[in-house]
Structure 1
Amino acid sequence: MIPLFWACAALVAFTYAGYPLCMWLRARVAPRPVAVDATRPLPTVSAVMPVHDGAAMVAAKLANLLALEYPADRLEIVLACDGCSDATAAIARGVGDARVRVLEFDRRRGKASCLNDAVAAATGEVLLMVDVRQRLEPGALRALVEHLSDPGVGAVGGQLRFEDPDTGFAAGVDAYWRYESAIRLAEARSGSVVGLSGALYAMRRSLFRPLPAATVLDDVLVPMQVAASGARVTWQPRAVAWDRASRSAAGERVRKVRTLAGNLQLVQLAPWLLDPRRNPLWFRFVGHKMLRLAAPWALLLLGLAAMALAPRHGFYLACALAALAGLALVAAAPRLPRLAGLAPVRLLVAFVHMNLFAAQAALAFVRGRRLHLW
């Protein structure tokens, strides 16, 4: 039990502290700044936006994209309607701007298939990948294109931030994303990031490779394909997309379980990701993505080992009691708003729920034959 306890403790510690520390040290010791070339002319850009039943949001999103601080004659929008049963396509066409092109597909096939078709129809040198829900800051596209002026950069992601995160679970989600953003920044400053936000990233169209139709995490597989081609995948915190955090664990659960199950699916679709000879970002992919799927099971074994050892040593008893107290605190937090508003508590709530979601992701992956349908 003692070796099991410490092995699990080491895995959890490396997953959430050791790996981020490795990236931070690498960024400090051997930084790789992006070589921005302000003299390069702005490239033509195709904003690619797959949508399923987005009638309530599509008009606002198109207005947001058309208002970006970028030359109008160098920007087009390709909207792909994935078997929409509402008025998404009609609303998009009603915008009345020649820069908006609508691809309408009668059958719902999933985001990856729509991305493949939309990219094939795009004409821009750069692809701007966006979702319908988030609002982009006016200068977001220019900030992304700035990184692409470095010929060694193949893709660059923007930062996802949350509007008006309140106390409780939404604040915990916001704290989690700040932690995630810090890791991505360290990865970018030391080389490449292993995943981008589907809400906002840009890439050279020449580097896009068609995705398997069932792909869930295009925003991880696409950057990994870019990195495998020899180009860097960077992150630009000045390019911001605004979203709203889930207000409850139930609301966040559906999205997060699907995303985490998508990481398992990636290994199934692209087994080369686990081959250090073929994946130049192997250490980062395992450290950032795969270990988080193992962490909840390590935490479970850690707790069981602590309880088994508790009668024999006070240290393990203290660990077991601390774990039980933490779980009790998480259970009580929704009923005690003042308690839930404390930073340590909301971080603990987010940590526990994210690991619960990761544990559920394995089951969702096994069951998820239609996981790619958003």
Structure 2
Amino acid sequence: MATVFWLAAALVAFAYAGYPLLMALRARWHARPVVPGDSLATIDVVLVVHDAAALVEAKLRNLLELDYPAERLRINLACDGCSDATEAIARAIGSPRIRVFAFGQRRGKSACIAELVPQLDAELILFTDVRQRIDTDAARMLAMTLADPAVGAASGELVLEADNGYGRGIDAYWRYEKLLRRLESASGSIVGATGALYAARRELLVPPPAGIILDDMWIPLAIAAGGHRVVFVPQALAHDRGASDSASEETRKRRTLAGNYQLLHRWPQLALPGAHPLALRLWGHKWLRLAAPWCLLALLASNLWLTRGGDMFYLASLALQVAAYLLALSARLRPSLATAWLPARLCGAFLSLNLSAALALVDYLRNPQAHLWQTTRLEAARQ
């Protein structure tokens, strides 16, 4: 049991602390700075929506107001089986820079991307989602980064606007995640982009197969497999509201993590050392996170067994684990506690993320063919 305890502890520690430290060392000793350029390539923006009548006008006007030469940026809206007024609202804006593609049957974002991209001719393809507002200089920042011939895709930064204890806990985790992306980017490549804002060279872009949930991982990983870098551009910002409660955030997170299982299922070479240029980073950043909840269970169970010997170390370790779980549960039951006290906020967010990872496996095994995003309560509230 001691072997189980220490192995589980080591895997969790490496996933959340050891791997970031490794990336920090690589960023310091093996830095690969991006060499941005001044030329502004032509851009085709791709926006896929489903029944987004309440949001689409604001998003399209946001894109029209980007600080980028109007003649070099075109917006392509794909209505994925919309049954509301989304298409009519988009056409009513009347801008010649907006092209609307109406698909009668809802098939999912990746299927729309795969059909739309071959029809585009700009040098860069910029992907964004309907909910987020992006800064006016975001497209310019991404285009300047992609002027580096070694860079094939570039991700912007998603800024969450948290307004309560739970949301601030998730925001703290998101800041940790963005720091990790900065370190990965500084030493080579990140393993995925933010779907809210990323861009890629059209000539390198491999459209995702229909049914893929995480196009923002499939596309960058396919580009990285061809030898080009995928980098993080923190100057290109997209803004979104943070999670207002644990239920809505966990629904979204479960869907994303189930997409990771789908990615492994559809592209199993991503888990094989040496089969993909970013295999080590995928293990450190993604796959060990999927294993973390099961490692935590093994850690607790083995710790319980080992306390039978009366060893003070294992008794203290068990007490710390129990205290952390109780604090996390208290933060979930009493949001005011999470708002007032940072340790409760972080423990609650950590428990939520690992619970989502465990349930995501159940979700995927129950329905491996699922590929359509379902509206969460958070998204419904925005509408």
TM range, smaller chain: over 0.9
Q: Distance in 1 between matches of 2:334 and 2:196?
A: 33
Whether the 8 Å contact between 1:168 and 1:334 is mirrored in structure 2 is: no
Q: In the aligned structure 1, how far is the partner of 2:155 from the partner of 2:195? A: 9
Q: For residue 333 of structure 1, report the CA deviation from its aligned partner.
A: 1.8
TM-aligned CA deviation for residue 276 of structure 1: 3.1
Tell me the CA shift for residue 331 of structure 1.
1.7
- Report the CA distance between 1:167 and its aligned residue: 3.2
Kept after mapping to 2: 8 A contact 1:228/1:278: no
Q: Of the candidates 235, 239, 253, which is equivalent to residue 236 of structure 2?
A: 239
**Could you tell me how far apart the structure 2 residues matched to 1:367 and 1:325 are?**
33
Q: Which residue of 1 aligns with 2:135?
A: 137
Q: TM-score, normalised to structure 2's length? A: 0.95
| Residue type of the alignment partner of 1:61 | K
Task: Measure the CA separation in 1 of the matches of 2:363 and 2:201.
Answer: 33
Question: AA paired with 2:43?
Answer: V
Using the aligned pairs only, state the percent identity: 50
The answer (yes or no) to whether the contact 1:228–1:280 under 8 Å persists in 2 is: yes
Cα distance, 1:214 vs. partner?
1.2
Gaps of 5+ in 1: none
For the Cα contact (< 8 Å) 2:166–2:335, is it kept in 1? no
Q: Distance in 1 between matches of 2:96 and 2:273?
A: 46
1:230 alignment partner, one of 227, 230, 238: 227
Q: Does 1:325 align with 2:323?
A: yes
Query: How far apart, CA to CA, are the structure 1 residues paired with 2:118 and 2:260?
Result: 26
- Contact between 2:325 and 2:347, CA under 8 Å: does it hold in 1? no
- Write the distance in 2 (CA, Å) between the matches of 1:345 and 1:166: 16
Q: 1:274 corresponds to which residue?
A: 271
Cα distance change, pair 106–369 in 1 and its aligned pair in 2 (3 A): farther
Instruction: Report what 1:85 is aligned to.
Output: 83
Aligned to 2:103: 105
Structure 2 counterpart SS, 1:276: coil
Code of the residue aligned with 1:351 in structure 2: it is F
Does the 8 Å contact 2:76/2:101 carry over to 1? yes
Cα displacement (A) at 1:335: 4.5
Amino acid at match of 2:227: G
The letter for the 2-side match of 1:139 is: D
Distance 1:369 1:8 in 2: 28
Q: Output the TM-score relative to the length of structure 1.
A: 0.97
Deviations 1:29-56 (A, max 9, x none): 1100001223xx3111000011011111
Q: Which residue of 2 aligns with 1:36?
A: 36
How far, CA to CA, are the matches of 1:336 and 1:264 in structure 2? 32
Aligned partners of 1:166, 1:323: CA distance in 2, in Å? 29
CA RMSD for the aligned pairs?
1.1
The 5 Å alignment of 1:180-259 reads: 180-259=177-256
- What per-residue deviation string (whole Å, max 9, x for no partner) do you get for residues 229-288 of structure 1? 111000100000000111111001111001101111111111221233330011001111
Residue in 2 aligned with 1:354?
Answer: 353
Aligned pairs for 1:114-153 (under 5 A) are: 114-153=112-151
Q: Note if contact 1:78-1:122 (Cα within 8 Å) is conserved in structure 2.
A: no
Q: Is the 8 A contact 2:163 2:242 kept in 1?
A: no
CA-CA distance at 1:150 after TM superposition: 0.4
Q: Which residue of 1 aligns with 2:11?
A: 11
Equivalence for 2:21: 21
Where do 1:171-186 residues align within 5 Å? 171-186=168-183
CA drift at 1:336: 3.8
| Aligned length in residues | 371
Contact 1:81 1:105 in 2 (8 A): yes
Contact map agreement 1:212 1:269 (CA 8 A) in 2:
no
- Post-superposition shift, 1:123? 2.3
Secondary structure in structure 1 of the residue aligned to 2:93: coil
Tell me what 2:343 maps to: 344
The offset of 1:370, in angstroms, is 4.6
Hey, what's the Cα distance between the residues in 2 that align with 1:88 and 1:298? Answer: 45
Please say if residues 257 and 361 of structure 1, whose CA atoms lie closer than 8 Å, have aligned partners that are also in contact: yes
Q: Which amino acid aligns with 2:29?
A: V
